[in-house]
Amino acid sequence: MQNPYAFRRPWLTLLLMLVAAGCAGEGAGGSATSGGASLADIQQQIFTPSCAFFGCHDAVIQQAGLNLSSVAASHAGLLNAASTLCAGRTLVVAGDPDASYLMNKVGASTDRCGAQMPDIGGLPSLSDEQLEQIGSWIEAGAELPLSTTTTSPTTSTSLTTSTSLTTSTTLF
């Protein structure tokens, strides 16, 4: 007999756990870098809705090995990280948007390996304002907001279901 309190929709439970994991570790904002948005702003306005939400660069499915599900994960995965798709390119070079492959990948540049991001059917390319936010953050040093730790986030999620059945038989 199945436990009547067991989750009957495991996909819904998984979705809720992923959303919670994606929100874990998010700071309340973080300070803006001089002349541009902070990584916390970029995370909330660009990376989460355009990159992580659709399951491409989230904590579970990390396309090209890139996790953009939280401020700390984005910073760790982008700053001085080598592109896994384009040899010899660095995703974010602090202080140099032109040398940062991320700008090529999300912008209208033809100097990129693979498709322009985001590459989800129906999702528009990033706006000029969004590209400016990312570029300003990189140019200002690609800093991690003070309210976020610099260590890579570790997400541990477990779902335990136990069913116990005790049968007692009395013989006459």
Asked if residue 79 belongs to a domain, the reply is yes
Q: Identify whether the C-beta of residue 137 lies closer than 8 Å to the C-beta of residue 36.
A: yes
pLDDT above 70 as % of the chain = 64
Residue 163 pLDDT more than 90?
no
Could you report the per-residue pLDDT of 9-51, keeping only the tens digit for each?
343 333 334 333 343 333 334 444 445 689 999 999 999 998 9
Cα separation, 92 vs 78, in Å, equals 5
Residue 149 pLDDT more than 50?
no
pTM of the model: 0.65
Could you report the per-residue pLDDT of 95-113, keeping only the tens digit for each?
999 999 999 999 988 878 8
Asked if residue 55 belongs to a domain, the reply is yes
Most confident of 148-152, 157-161, 163-167: 148-152
Output the six-digit token pair for 118: 């985001």
Split at pLDDT 50, 70, 90, the class of 162 is very low
> Which pLDDT does position 34 carry in this prediction?
47
Q: Identify whether the C-beta of residue 3 lies closer than 8 Å to the C-beta of residue 161.
A: yes
Number of other CB atoms surrounding residue 5 within 10 Å: 8
Q: Identify whether the C-beta of residue 103 lies closer than 8 Å to the C-beta of residue 135.
A: yes
Return phi, psi of residue 133, to 5°: -60, -50
> Which pLDDT does position 109 carry in this prediction?
82
Output the six-digit token pair for 125: 């390319």
> Which pLDDT does position 35 carry in this prediction?
53
- Residue 55, SS3 per DSSP: coil
For residue 129, give its domain range.
35-139
Cα separation, 138 vs 38, in Å, equals 10
Asked if residue 104 belongs to a domain, the reply is yes
Split at pLDDT 50, 70, 90, the class of 123 is confident
Split at pLDDT 50, 70, 90, the class of 156 is very low
Asked if residue 64 belongs to a domain, the reply is yes
> Which pLDDT does position 166 carry in this prediction?
40
Into how many domains does the chain fold? 1
Average pLDDT (63-70) is: 93
Please state, rounded to an integer, the average pLDDT across all residues of the chain. Answer: 73
Residue 75 pLDDT more than 80?
yes
Asked if residue 25 belongs to a domain, the reply is no
Asked if residue 15 belongs to a domain, the reply is no
